[in-house]
Chain A
Amino acid sequence: MANFLVWVVWVGAAFGCLVSALGVVSFRNPFYSALALIGNLASLAVLFLLLSGEFVAAGQVLVYGGAVMVMFLFVIAYVGPRTESPWTGGPSWQAIGGVLAAGALLVEIVVVIGLKAGGDLAHSHDVGGAFGTPSYIGRRFLTDHLLAFEITSIVLLVAAIGGVILGAHSRTTPDEVPSL
């Protein structure tokens, strides 16, 4: 019974994930695309929970669904909705090339994973109850992966400085200094 419930939750989350990803790519209005991406992130968080990645799921909802998407919606509202219709007006060479390249990439991913790990994927290890909890992640971050932790903080600091510089109003006239 529990097995059946896990499958039901998995199918719902995976279906929501795929449909909302297609929605992001094909909606005309960027506002709807951003809303579809929120659905995509929420269903991905459910998949992470099924994979016993509790801390990553919480971080996904907080960082992506909260902070990043609010910033996206704010910028879309600031720039104004610019609709474009990606699937109308006949197939252009660019759309055909894009579909072919994406399909080739997908086939390549499937073939590589199937060839390299096809046999090993059937039997997975059992994980303990502590796997993926905040204390587990925190211990790994502060012991084995301390350098990655510090580099991440430096990357975030540099991004914050870059955002401030790009967003600041330049006091000079536009033809004097290229502010971009």
Chain B
Amino acid sequence: MGPGTAWYLAVAGFLFGVGTLGVLIRRNPLIVLLSLEIMLNGANLALIAFARHLNNGDGQIFALAVMAVAASEVVVGLGLIVALNRKRVPLDVDRLSSLRG
């Protein structure tokens, strides 16, 4: 009998908290994206822990869908960062404060 579900959930909650911290305090949009990945991975760990706990594979399916959405988010986010860099906009989320449209 290995570690119980509560241990995995503790790790998942901590990962989510650390990711939130990164999203809130970092100013480089690349690191904000990396911290978002940590948050999504924390949620994934909780989903898979509950799937194992309840003997129900739906949690794993959900985790795979989350991974696909995370990959899409990275594609769009990195595309935005490259486009910003090409327009010589400073890569600082505190200074990206105006929209045009």
Contacts and interface: CB of A to CB of B under 8 A. Distances in A.
- Whether A and B are associated in the same complex: the answer reads yes
Interface of A: 3, 6-7, 10, 14, 17-18, 21-22, 24-25, 30, 33-34, 37, 40-41, 44, 47-48, 50-53, 55-56, 59-60, 63-64, 67-68, 71-72, 75-76, 78-79, 82, 84, 86, 94-95, 97-99, 101-103, 105-106, 109-110, 113, 121-122, 124-127, 131-132, 136-137, 140-141, 144-145, 148, 152, 155-156, 158-160, 162-163, 165-167, 174, 178-180
A21 B4 CA distance: 22
B94 to A, nearest CB: 8
Contact of B11 (A7, A17, A98, A155): A17
B57 A131 contact: yes
Given A17-B15, A51-B49, A113-B13, A24 B72 contact: no
Contacts, number: 234
B89 to A, nearest CB: 9
26 contacts: A17-B15, A25-B18, A25-B21, A25-B25, A34-B34, A40-B41, A56-B44, A56-B67, A64-B37, A67-B71, A68-B37, A68-B70, A72-B34, A79-B30, A79-B81, A82-B91, A84-B27, A86-B26, A99-B25, A102-B21, A109-B17, A127-B55, A131-B57, A156-B71, A160-B75, A162-B75
B60 A53 contact: yes
B52 A124 contact: yes
A106 B78 contact: no
Given A33-B31, A60-B67, A160-B75, 8 more contacts: A6-B3, A18-B14, A44-B44, A72-B74, A84-B28, A86-B25, A109-B13, A156-B72
Contacts of A75: 30, 78, 81-82
Interface of B: 1-11, 13-22, 24-28, 30-31, 33-35, 37-38, 41, 44-45, 48-49, 51-55, 57-58, 60-61, 63-65, 67-76, 78-85, 87, 91, 100-101
B64 A59 contact: yes
Nearest to B30: A30
A163 B75 contact: yes
Contacts of B24: 94, 97-98, 101-102
A25 B26 contact: yes
Contacts of B17: 102-103, 105-106, 109
A167 B22 contact: no
A171 to B, nearest CB: 14
Contacts of A50: 2-3
A155 B82 contact: no
A167 B41 contact: no
